[in-house]
Every structure is written in structure tokens, then in C-alpha cells.
Amino acid sequence: MKILTIAEQKENQLSNISFESIGAAQSLGGEVCCAILGGDTTAAAASLQAKGVNVFAFVHADLTNMQEESYGRLLKQLIDREKPDVVIGSASFYGKSLMARLAGLCGGGMASDCTALSIEEGKLTAVRPTYGGNVFIKVQTAGDGPFFITIRPKAFPEAADAEGGELVSETVDDAVLTCQAKVTERSTGAGGAVSLTEADIVVAGGRGIRAAENFKLIEEMAEALGGAVGSSRAIVDAGWVPYATQVGQTGKTVNPKLYIAAGISGAVQHLVGMRSSKTIVAINRDPDAPIFNLANYGIVGDFLEIAPVLTAKFKEVMK
């Protein structure tokens, strides 16, 4: 089996999912290679090569910002040439938009947001959640491929360093870079310095924090823990916090080691985005809030009173 992974970078900085994709591919055995596209991928490509895989690096100023049209054309050329059986990318906003286009261009099947991969009866088998995360289904490859997979961030361990990788500099034809859309400006969204989808710790607030100005307590707790901030849809719709922080069915899916849900009742739309967290701590004034049915630990009380105490203790412990 030959597997191609697609690295994810922003401003020439690799996301952790790039190494997780390689780790997921290596767990299946066979030949693993990786592609990276960007404006200056020198350092990023070297980091990927250090995982013992061959790296195909596409470098051009017009590739600085990810655009599905140009990225898709270049990667299709690479796939046609290298003929991988499987292509693995990230189930992030970046990966979902790009991998779906690639599957369409190459005429391959696709499984999205996968949490486990294995070989069963000689076929690649992917496990992915459905029905709001209440059911996990198995999807197997069929036909000649290639088969496209996006993996959920934090679901697979990162690849370890290894010897043997080679770096291949790819030629970029300017004609391939023609796009109907053009990026004119980029801005950094709110949500803290830590990426929400890649964070090991997430502190999220809901309507139970009672006012927009109280969200600072969420931010302070997240900062004390070195984590990211999240939110429920209710307070995004209320205009208290930006959409970039929203966790749930219409927001981001997170998979941290620790998820603290403060003032979040536990509507199914929110649970879809965080139920796979390793440890869930719920803080809510309502002892019958549905979130307690999913939580590993629960605190019944007023978050406005509990937050300063917890944050002070976290700061003390995290020193």
C-alpha cells in the first residue's frame, strides 16, 4: 500500500495534524510520503522529512494562502504521477475543503472525520462518527482508488522521528495557479493563542456565564491551564463571542485531553463537537443539566463564584 499525506500549514508553520497524519499512515504499514504546499516550506518540509518519509514540496509565492483550486490541481498532478492507494488529510476547515475537491477531481471515494484506521481482510477500514457522534461506523475501501480520508485532530499520535526520508522539490507551473478567487487580506480570528482544534485543554463557556463580560473568566482559566477557549452556539448567536470559538455541530469539533464546560447545558448540537474529549468536567448551577450525563466530573454551582477559585488553584499548580 502506498499512502500520501497532505501537510497543513499556516504562515509556513505546520499544524500538529500534519504529523498526526503521518503517524496514522505509518500505523497501516506500506510506503508513506507527504506533500506540502506554501510560500516558503523549507523548514516545514525538513520537519516532515525527519519523520522518515519522502516529502514533495511545492513552493511558490501564490501558494502562501491555501486556495482549493490551485492546491487541488497541483495535488492531482502529484497523485496521477505517484499513484497512491490512499490519501490522508486533516478534518479541519483546511482539510475538509481541499480533500473533498481532490476526491472529486480524482474520482475516488472518501471517508471524513475518521477516528481510527486499520487493515481488515486486506482492505483499509476507517472508523468515523455519525448520527451526532452517537454511532461509529466502519467504511472500507472498494475499487481501484485512490481512497481519500480526513482524520480528526488529536485522534492519532504524532509520528516519531526516523531516518530515510528524502526531499523532492516540485516544479510549479504558473498556469496551474490561476484561480477564480483571490485572497486580498488575512486576519487572525479571536479565540486565544492556542488553536481550538489542536488544544489538549479546552475551557468553554455557555449561556450560564450570564453576560458577555463574564467570558473573561473563561479566558483567564484557559490561560492558566495553557489551553484554548471555546463556546456554545447560544453565546455566539447572542454576540458575546466570535464564531471562531464555537464548538458543536455548526462549529468546530474538538478532541482534547480535558474539556471544561462552564454554564453549558449540554444540548445535543454542542455534544456532537466535544463528546470524544478524554475527560469532561461540567460546571453548572442546574443539577439536572444534560451535560452531567456525559461528564466524567461535575460541579454543581455558580461558575462566577467557582471560576476565580479554580483559576487561582490552576495557576498555583501550573507554575
**172 confidence band (pLDDT: 50, 70, 90):** very high
pLDDT for the residue numbered 71 = 95
Residue type, 211: A
Give the global pTM. Answer: 0.84
Q: What is the mean pLDDT of residues 56-63?
A: 94
Residue 57 β-bridge partners: 36, 169
Given a cut of 90, whether residue 92 has pLDDT beyond it is no
pLDDT band at 142 (very low <50, low <70, confident <90, very high): confident
- 190 has a pLDDT exceeding 70: no
Q: What is the pLDDT of residue 50?
A: 96
Whether residue 300 has pLDDT greater than 90 = yes
Q: At what angle do helices 93-106 and 68-82 cross, to 10 degrees?
A: 50
| pLDDT of 192 over the 70 cut | no
Ranking 134-143, 166-175, 216-225, 236-245 by mean pLDDT, the lowest is 134-143
pLDDT tens digits, one per residue of 210-244: 999 999 999 999 999 999 999 999 999 999 999 99
Query: If you average pLDDT over every residue of the chain, what do you get?
Result: 92
Q: Does residue 277 have a pLDDT over 60?
A: yes
How far, in Å, CA of 98 to CA of 115, rounded? 19
CA distances (Å), origin 132, targets 96, 270, 280, 295: 18, 9, 17, 17
The CATH class for the domain spanning 2-177 reads alpha beta
Is the pLDDT at 319 greater than 80, yes or no? no
Q: Which fold has domain 201-317?
A: Rossmann fold (3.40.50)
Please state the domain extents for the chain. Answer: 2-177, 201-317
Give the residue from 214, 223, 221 showing the smallest Cα distance to 194.
223
Task: Give the position of cell 506533500.
Answer: 35
